[in-house]
Structure 1
Amino acid sequence: MDERIQKLIDSAKTKFGLGDYYLETHGFFRNVNIFNETIYTFYMEWFPKHVAKPDDDSNPEGTAVIEFNLHAGKFERTIFVMGKTYAKDGIAFPNMDFNDIIKWIEEETGLIYGKQFQLRRQQEREFYFEGCIDGIAVSPGAFIEVNLDQDGKLTLFSVTGPFPSKNMVIEETYHLSLEKIEHLAKEQLKLIEYPSDEQKKIIPVYGVEEIFVTNDGRSTIPYELDDSPYVRIDEIIVWDEPMNEPFERKEIRWFEDITAEQAFSNEPSPDSFPITKEEQDRCVQSVKDFLRQVYPNDTGKWLLKTLKRNKGYIHATVRANYRDDGVFQRKLEIIIDANRFQAVNYLDNEMMLRIFDQFQAPDEVTVTKEEAFEKIKEWFELKPVYIYDFDQKQYVLCGKIDCQYGVNAASGEVILLDELI
């Protein structure tokens, strides 16, 4: 076995007290973070020696799943399956002292409590932390989770997301207030049709669309759920003639065979390579050919939004070239072979949207946007957040506009949005 791999295995066994375990499997995987860095992770699955393997190939209770980030040189995930640990002389906090837990996290991660991470919530022996910059939250989010059993033994440790270093932050004093940006807050109030599963009904609601406002109050940055690097295209796809050839889906290979040499040399993942203009043009043509085959009568009805690399493929996000008031919009994810530039598979959310066709139609809207704004403006939230700006490649201070409440556009009732769906 490669000496470097053996060293990681021995380190994990000693650190987490796995004397009563045996190594069942191990290997490497890689991903590309928001900074376009290739991150290699060495994973291990340790089985308890005295517990029989389940017949369904699942991991037995007490299995230790451990991941080591080669880029950071740190363990970043340890999970004991079903919250059961058979570790001896591993990581434990018998007194369950919060300060001891904080000190251990700081040692493991190199982060400073209160400066780079802070407590988000605690539920008995479960501790949830979030990334921050001097107490101000960051976006994309970064999280640390620690779970203990009744004896204080570690059953889960997880570090997720980027924790920014000082040199990546443009530090400044926060100047925003809701009074200063009330016009922007009002613009974010949108009429949306919420599908209520409990009532089996579509409910028209005025709700706030989250957005970030720069600290000078002059511009906004959209709230993105997908924080992976992408290329924006925004092109309506049109054609003159359909293609009469049937589309055949091909199996997608999501798992890569990563060698030790690739991992330890930190070979850049193909997913980190830019999508050149020539490749973009070929992807646009691939999307057009796909739509001509699968949706032959829909010329001009689809908008190619973005392209991004993922596991050796290029994913094209395509949305319907219209927007209704529904929470969920019609969307396609077209998967393109990055070598041959041909669509090989796709996802369509139409089946999910059809579920809502059975819901009762929304009542007539009787409340204006201005009336709705006056009803809930006292519940608007503006919280400081350091957001990663992909153009500047640094974290910039913004205010996040949000609101947990909405207004029923038919009845005028103020409602908590979390209770609606």
Structure 2
Amino acid sequence: MSHIVRKWTERISNAWALQDFQLKSATIRREVSPIQTTEYRLEIEWFPPGTAMIDDLNPPGTVYAEVNLTLDLLTSFIVVQNEDLRKKPLPLSSTKQRDVVAWIQENTGLQQKVDYELEREEQGENGSEYFFTSRLAGRKISPGGYLEVKINSEGVIVFFTLTGFFSKFYPKIQVEAASEEEPRNIEEWKNQQVILFGTLKESGYQLLYGVEEAFLDDVEERFILEWSNEKSIQKIPRSEHKPGKLWEDFRKSHIISEEEMDSSVPHPDAIPISQGEREACFQVITDYMRMHRPNESGKWVIERLERQHGMIEASVSPISTLDRIMDKFKFVYDSKDKSIIEILNKRELFEDLVDSSIPKPQVTKEEATAILNQDIFFEPYYLYDRKQKRLKSTWMIDCHMFVDAQTGKKIWE
């Protein structure tokens, strides 16, 4: 057992009353952080005394913990299925919010009203549960940070997780001074962000108008797919590997030793997509769309391109938001051998589930915008800029109401 694993297993065991539990596993993984940097995490499992795996499943009362080694911080402690078999675990003074908040500050350094705010709480016969989200100078942050704490009826914590981005843990990130000025061009943004979309119901489709949330000064990269049918199409390169096997192999490949943490090898998902990778991926997608939708040049756009599990994932949507109800593609691309691993086609996925046609909207976009006008709001945010590596002050447009495109009736989300 390495030094860092021994240190944390002993620390958690003593603090969380696991002295008589069996240490089942301890694994160090190379992971990617919420801001696309490389971090190292330690995952630990304990079994209750005298228990073992049952049909490849962990026994009741198993305890799981996760430590962010880069931050030197416990980020998860979970008693599986809340079946707590520990002897005399230390309870909080009470299950009230003030005692939960005091525990969070003592164990993470995060302060309420400075680093996070209460999102909601749930009280039940078996205990209390609290959900918190990250803040910076009173503003929400993107990417967000989340805290969840569950206390049983005896006042003992049986579930704790800290995930996502909290600015206090990344003090070197520059924070742009917040402007209290109201956002400009409000009406223009409202008109732009109200879109028509559909939801799947048992009886068919329901058409709704709603606000597509967006950050006001965050220009997302979009690539419109256009092609000419004059040139012949080369065979679309398809990988012979199964996605599930590739993802499992990828996950296993990032189980490392303590010594390997010093090598500073970046997590593949933290490496920016190069221009060459981008162009090669776009070409394969363009060829595929040209082959399967030859008459739809200029009607499709690549909206998102990111690394996941070492692969490149691309979301391809119709430019018309109405067409997105039944039509959308997701491509998983291997940049190493320049081949497509998987294609998810929304039309194929849903064609057997729904045989009804899409109804024609009876309410115009302009009418829907007028109906939603008083419900649309602009919320101050801090947005992490990956290119400039700083938190910039901005606003997000959003709305919690929808308009039924058939009746004009308002609907709460």
**Does the pair score TM above 0.5?**
yes
Aligned to 2:373: 377
CA distance in 2, matches of 1:90, 1:263: 33
Residues 266 and 186 of structure 1, relative CA distance in 2, 3 Å threshold: same
- Residue 243 of structure 1, CA deviation: 4.7
CA distance in 2, matches of 1:105, 1:58: 31
CA distance in 1, matches of 2:52, 2:37: 40
- Residue 164 of structure 1, CA deviation: 1.4
The one-letter code of the counterpart of 1:272 is A
Report whether the alignment pairs 1:25 with 2:25.
yes
CA distance in 2, matches of 1:387, 1:329: 31
What secondary structure is seen at the aligned counterpart in 2 of 1:176? coil
The one-letter code of the counterpart of 1:15 is A
What secondary structure is seen at the aligned counterpart in 2 of 1:190? strand
Report whether the alignment pairs 1:313 with 2:311.
yes
Give the TM-score, by structure 2 length.
0.84
Report whether the alignment pairs 1:331 with 2:328.
yes
Aligned to 1:216: none
CA contact 2:300–2:316 (8 Å) conserved in 1:
yes
- Residue 113 of structure 1, CA deviation: 1.5
What secondary structure is seen at the aligned counterpart in 2 of 1:221? coil
Corresponding residue to 2:188 among 167, 174, 183: 183
The one-letter code of the counterpart of 2:66 is E
Counterparts of 1:346-357 in structure 2, within 5 Å, are 346-354=343-351, 357=354
Aligned to 2:394: 398
Residues 187 and 347 of structure 1, relative CA distance in 2, 3 Å threshold: closer
What secondary structure is seen at the aligned counterpart in 2 of 1:133? coil
CA distance in 2, matches of 1:299, 1:177: 37
The one-letter code of the counterpart of 1:164 is S
CA contact 1:40–1:266 (8 Å) conserved in 2:
no
- Residue 83 of structure 1, CA deviation: 1.2
Residues 264 and 386 of structure 1, relative CA distance in 2, 3 Å threshold: same
Residues 329 and 359 of structure 1, relative CA distance in 2, 3 Å threshold: closer
CA distance in 1, matches of 2:252, 2:223: 28
CA distance in 1, matches of 2:285, 2:209: 35
- Residue 171 of structure 1, CA deviation: 2.6
CA distance in 1, matches of 2:281, 2:212: 31
- Residue 291 of structure 1, CA deviation: 6.0
- Residue 111 of structure 1, CA deviation: 1.7
CA distance in 2, matches of 1:274, 1:25: 33
CA distance in 2, matches of 1:333, 1:312: 16
CA distance in 2, matches of 1:36, 1:177: 29
Give the TM-score, by structure 1 length.
0.83
Aligned to 2:144: 141
Residues 384 and 321 of structure 1, relative CA distance in 2, 3 Å threshold: closer
Report whether the alignment pairs 1:250 with 2:256.
no
CA contact 2:197–2:325 (8 Å) conserved in 1:
no
CA distance in 1, matches of 2:156, 2:386: 40
**Percent identity over paired residues:** 26
CA contact 2:213–2:398 (8 Å) conserved in 1:
yes
Unpaired segments ≥5 residues, structure 1: 214-219, 225-230
CA distance in 2, matches of 1:190, 1:338: 34
Aligned to 2:281: 283
CA distance in 2, matches of 1:67, 1:374: 49
Deviations 1:188-218 (A, max 9, x none): 2222233334xx23223222111223xxxxx
The root-mean-square deviation of aligned C-alpha atoms, in Å, is 3.0
CA distance in 2, matches of 1:336, 1:360: 33
Aligned to 2:165: 162
Aligned length: 397
Aligned to 2:111: 112
- Residue 185 of structure 1, CA deviation: 1.7
Report whether the alignment pairs 1:412 with 2:412.
no
What secondary structure is seen at the aligned counterpart in 2 of 1:160? strand
What secondary structure is seen at the aligned counterpart in 1 of 2:58? coil
Residues 353 and 395 of structure 1, relative CA distance in 2, 3 Å threshold: farther
- Residue 356 of structure 1, CA deviation: 5.9
- Residue 40 of structure 1, CA deviation: 1.2
Residues 73 and 246 of structure 1, relative CA distance in 2, 3 Å threshold: closer
